Amino acid sequence: MRAAETAGESIVLRVSRYLPGRDAEPVPRDYEVPLREEWSVLDGLNHVKDVLDGSLAYRWSCRMGICGSCGMTVNGEPRLTCGTFLSEFAPGPVVVEPLRGFAVIRDLVVDIEPFLGKLASVTPWLVRNGAEPPPDAEFAQTPEQLGAYKQFSMCINCMLCYSACPVYALDEDFLGPAAIALAQRYNLDSRDMGAAARFDVLAAAGGVWDCTYVGECSAACPKGVDPAGAIQQYKLTAAMETVRRFLLPKGAR
Ligand code: SF4
Ligand code: FES
């Protein structure tokens, strides 16, 4: 036996189960899984799926905190299940529910379409307005220029920040933390020319002004992104841009 294994020990996963058309509402179901030091909550779910109950539905892919698809609510908090270990919750139970703030499709699978729509609305790519480098050249950046946006580029779209955000819980039209952080990822990139188009989304109803700066989004982020900081940063940009546009002659706004 390897040292990391705890012989004979187990822990209960209390998993939310919901099948539309069969269940009126989600119901918790207990599964006993091996308690191993190196097992994440996702390993526990995979054990349920492989050995105990193949009907369990949940999302995952990379098992290494990269794909962003395994976010769930674990003992009340939004977490990446591949980076959350069963031993943290011993002797259990470990309560696993879908990410809060999203409609549940089945068991632990939530509807990500509204989130994807918000991401797309901020033009999440480099806008160049036709200004391309010669084919044999590239857009060089200094370390300082890279540093201006690098932390926002670490986002893996796991949606934990939305699940933690009390504003999003009350207002599904709020653009939300990750979409605004992603907008800043491009706004602050020295190669980008799309800030004006993003302003129309970020400064509109549902944009940055809806944020009350609770900061739970940044606390929940598993990748060290600071969406709350991005939002406060952009509030200043939006205020200055609003004044600048106001001072322009009417036809030039
Ligand atoms: S900002 Fe952090 S918590 Fe939010 S989606 Fe990106 S990686 Fe996940
Ligand atoms: S499985 Fe990819 S982030 Fe967890």
Answer yes or no: is the C-beta of 230 below 6 A from any ligand 1 atom: no
Q: What per-residue confidence (pLDDT) applies to 4?
A: 44
Q: What per-residue confidence (pLDDT) applies to 96?
A: 98
How high is the mean pLDDT of the chain? 93
Answer yes or no: is the C-beta of 161 below 6 A from any ligand 2 atom: no
Q: What per-residue confidence (pLDDT) applies to 252?
A: 67
Max CA pair span of the chain: 77
Return the ligand 2 atom nearest residue 81 CA. Answer: 4
Under the banding of pLDDT at 50, 70 and 90, the label for residue 130 is confident
In which order are the strands placed within the sheet that holds 94-97?
Answer: 27-36, 5-17, 94-97, 71-74, 77-80
Give the residue, by CA position, lying nearest to ligand 1 atom 7. 155
Answer yes or no: is the C-beta of 222 below 6 A from any ligand 2 atom: no
- Interatomic CA distance for residues 163 and 14, integer angstroms: 20
- Interatomic CA distance for residues 32 and 213, integer angstroms: 40
Answer yes or no: is the C-beta of 116 below 6 A from any ligand 2 atom: no
Q: What per-residue confidence (pLDDT) applies to 131?
A: 78
Return the ligand 1 atom nearest residue 68 CA. Answer: 8
Domain ranges of the chain: 5-110, 113-252
Give the residue, by CA position, lying nearest to ligand 1 atom 3. 221
CB distance 187 to 234 below 8 Å: yes
Asked if pLDDT for residue 7 goes beyond 90, the answer is no
CATH 1.10.1030.10 holds for 5-110: no
41, 43, 46, 63, best to mutate for ligand 2 pocket (most atoms within 8 Å of CB): 63
* Collapsed DSSP state (helix, strand, coil) of residue 55: coil
| pLDDT tens, residue by residue, 183-197 | 999 999 999 999 999
pTM summary value: 0.92
| Same-fold call for 5-110 versus 113-252 | no
CB distance 138 to 167 below 8 Å: no
CATH 1.10.1060.10 holds for 113-252: yes
